[in-house]
Each structure stands twice: as structure tokens, then as C-alpha cells.
């Protein structure tokens, strides 16, 4: 059985922006504990705080909604958890940093190579 990988849009934003959970909590003006819950889909950020935080991160709401839609699409697919994670990360990079998209493949390859060495 595969481990469940977290492909929440908010986590992908954090990874792409290279921010810590604490920094993201500050951006959205919530506690770190609440931010952890957000990443695990157990807490919703107030709409005003969400929009303000996305603006600070220079992400427009329509792009965020695209990430949510893509995440839901992946959740309903028959892809492996690992492939869902990879596709979500790639989609996030394409939406938020198209000029840095080439970096994604190196990061993914490094991440998955290191993960496979641990098995």
C-alpha cells in the first residue's frame, strides 16, 4: 500500500515559493498550528485572509482556483500517489513561476532519487 502524499494547493504554493510553514502562517495571519491543519485539509483560512495572503505571495485567485481544480482532478484519478504529487508540483510551478519551470525537473528528480535511496 502506498503512503498518502499531500498534494494540497496551499502546500504546493509553499514548496514553489520556498517558504517554511511558519512563514506561510505569517502570510495568512494564522497560527502555525492552524497552518499545519490547512495543509492537511483540516482547516479553512478565512476568505479575507486567504485573498490577502495570496496577494502577498503574488498569486491571483483564479490561479489558486486552478490549483484546487487540478488537485481535485488528481484525487479522482487512478494515478499512483507519487505521480499525483509530481503532477501537482509541476502544475503549481507552471502556474506560479513559468520562467522557472525548468528547475522543477531537477528538484523532482533529486527528491525522488533521495526518497528511493531510503527504501
pTM: 0.73
The H or E element spanning position 36 is helix 32-39
Average pLDDT, the chain: 82
The closest of 31, 10, 13, 11 to 22, measured between CA atoms, is: 31
pLDDT tens column, 24-59: 999 999 999 999 999 988 888 999 999 999 999 999
Task: Specify the CATH architecture of the domain 9-118.
Answer: Orthogonal Bundle (1.10)
The H or E element spanning position 55 is helix 47-56
pLDDT tens column, 8-25: 889 889 988 889 999 999
How do the domains of the chain map onto residue ranges? 9-118
d(CA 27, CA 58): 11
Amino acid at each position: 500500500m502506498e503512503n498518502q502524499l499531500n498534494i494540497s494547493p496551499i502546500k504546493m504554493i509553499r514548496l514553489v515559493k520556498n517558504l517554511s510553514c511558519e512563514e506561510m502562517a505569517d502570510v495568512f495571519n494564522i497560527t502555525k498550528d492552524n497552518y499545519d491543519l490547512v495543509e492537511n485539509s483540516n482547516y479553512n483560512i478565512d476568505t479575507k485572509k486567504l485573498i490577502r495572503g495570496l496577494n502577498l505571495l503574488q498569486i491571483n485567485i483564479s490561479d489558486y482556483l486552478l490549483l484546487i481544480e487540478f488537485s481535485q482532478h488528481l484525487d479522482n484519478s487512478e494515478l499512483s500517489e507519487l505521480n499525483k504529487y509530481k503532477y501537482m508540483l509541476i502544475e503549481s510551478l507552471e502556474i506560479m513561476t513559468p520562467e522557472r519551470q525548468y528547475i522543477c525537473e531537477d528538484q523532482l528528480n533529486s527528491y525522488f532519487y533521495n526518497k528511493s535511496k531510503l527504501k
